[in-house]
């Protein structure tokens, strides 16, 4: 390709491999840089060069330059707890971290993107080469009770506020009360914790993106692991943002949600707030 090689900085989960496969089919020269211990699909192993995130300059940037990468997609689950587990940073990475105003997710991504730009690498939208990965607005699954609709409305409002503060993307709600907020532990652990605390069962999980979200970084993602965590903790409703939350393998995801008795709500958000919750009764996409 005339724009140079495409790099994929690959975290956990299926998404990095899906992006890589689609890019290769499109004729891209693809180099994958996994920072995960997940198994690498055998047909993609020849494209992979492992990297160590805590040695950003000595490992990540050096590998990208060696492979002559000019465009980069950073995608997949990344746990920020690597910052707190006695990491071995190279000196330049320590200096980069010291210059940051805080160590919130977006701050880290923003500074890394600036450093990449200095060496001629452009960070692309995470949905590049993902194709149709969003759910249309509507309800997928059983009708909600009035109390569940109230919890969706309440939960989306508080999830938006938590994300504005760069704390996390997900909250677990029950009886118009926030039971759990996602922090460093990640979505699945937040769901399990919230579901366990809401002993009566049937909690609502709400997941949002920041307003005016930078789509190069940390777009909310939901998939089978989210559904498993909800089933294990007896959470019955998942509310996400239409057009702003990546759904991994949409058709299989919706089939699995139905089998597990989980209703998925996909909502648009505007300056005035989320879709009128009363419309959820009409926005039926599943025939239920």
Please report, for the domain that includes residue 145, its CATH number.
Answer: 3.40.140.80
Residues 110 and 225 in one domain: no
User: Same domain, yes or no, for 102 and 143?
Assistant: no
Residue finishing a domain among 123, 156, 183: 123
- Please tell me the predicted confidence (pLDDT) of residue 271: 45
Dump the DSSP string for 147-183: HHHHHHHHHHHHHHHHHHTTS-SEEEESSSSEEEE--
Among 123, 150, 181, identify where a domain stops: 123
R_g over Cα of the chain: 20
pLDDT, tens only, 201-211? 899 999 998 87
Mean per-residue pLDDT of the chain: 89
pLDDT in tens for each of the 288 residues of the chain? Answer: 457 899 999 999 999 999 999 999 999 999 999 998 889 999 999 999 999 888 899 999 999 999 999 999 999 987 766 777 767 888 898 899 899 998 888 888 899 999 999 999 999 999 999 988 999 999 999 999 989 999 999 999 999 999 888 888 999 999 999 999 998 888 999 999 999 999 888 999 999 988 777 889 878 999 999 999 999 999 999 999 998 999 999 999 999 999 999 999 999 875 445 555 666 666 667 655
Write down the pTM of the prediction.
0.88
pLDDT at 272: 43
Query: Structurally, how many domains does the chain consist of?
Result: 2
**What's the confidence (pLDDT) of residue 204?**
97
Domain-terminating residue out of 123, 153, 188: 123
pLDDT on residue 214? 85
User: Three-state DSSP class for 230?
Assistant: helix
Domain that holds residue 10: 5-123
| Residue 288 placed within a domain | no
**Residue 126 in contact with residue 109, Cβ under 8 Å?**
no
Judgement on whether residues 277 and 146 belong to the same structural domain of the protein: yes
pLDDT of residue 275: 55
Q: Where are the alpha helices (DSSP H) in 100-145?
A: 105-118
Cα angle, residue 81 at apex, residues 51 and 154 outer, rounded to 5°? 125
Question: Is 276 found in the same domain as 143?
Answer: yes
The verdict on residue 129 lying in a domain is no
Own/partner contacts of 186-193, CB < 8 Å, gap of 24 or more, are 186/77, 186/79, 187/222, 187/226, 187/229, 188/225, 188/226, 188/228, 188/229, 189/229, 191/226, 191/229, 191/230, 191/233, 191/235, 192/229, 192/232, 192/233
Q: Clarify whether residues 255 and 145 are in a common domain.
A: yes
| Residue 251: per-residue pLDDT | 94
Q: Is residue 98 part of a domain?
A: yes
Residue with tokens 């809401």: 198
CATH for 73: 3.40.50.20
- Dihedrals φ, ψ of 169, to 5°? -100, -15
């Amino acid at each position: 390709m005339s724009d140079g090689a495409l790099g994929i900085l690959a975290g956990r989960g299926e998404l990095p491999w899906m992006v890589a496969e689609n890019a290769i089919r499109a004729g891209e020269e693809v180099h994958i840089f996994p920072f995960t211990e997940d198994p690498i699909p055998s047909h993609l192993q020849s494209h992979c060069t492992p990297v160590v995130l805590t040695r950003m300059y000595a490992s990540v940037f050096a590998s990208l330059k060696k492979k002559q990468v000019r465009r980069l997609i950073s995608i997949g689950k990344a746990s920020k707890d690597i910052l707190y587990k006695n990491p071995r940073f190279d000196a330049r990475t320590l200096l980069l971290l010291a210059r940051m105003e805080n160590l919130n997710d977006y701050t880290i991504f923003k500074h890394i993107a600036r450093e990449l730009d200095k060496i001629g690498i452009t960070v692309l939208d995470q949905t590049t080469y993902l194709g149709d990965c969003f759910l249309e607005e509507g309800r997928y699954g059983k009708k909600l009770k009035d109390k569940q609709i109230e919890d969706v409305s309440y939960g989306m409002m508080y999830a938006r506020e938590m994300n504005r503060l760069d704390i996390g993307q997900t909250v677990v709600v029950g009886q118009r009360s926030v039971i759990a907020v996602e922090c460093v532990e990640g979505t699945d652990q937040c769901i399990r914790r919230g579901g366990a605390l809401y002993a009566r069962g049937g909690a609502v999980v709400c997941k949002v993106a920041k307003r005016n979200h930078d789509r190069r970084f940390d777009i909310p993602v939901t998939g089978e692991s989210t559904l498993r965590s909800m089933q294990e903790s007896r959470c019955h409703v998942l509310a996400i943002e239409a057009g702003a939350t990546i759904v991994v393998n949409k058709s299989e995801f919706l089939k699995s949600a139905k089998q597990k008795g989980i209703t998925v709500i996909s909502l648009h958000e505007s300056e005035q707030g989320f879709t009128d919750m009363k419309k959820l009764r009409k926005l039926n996409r599943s025939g239920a």
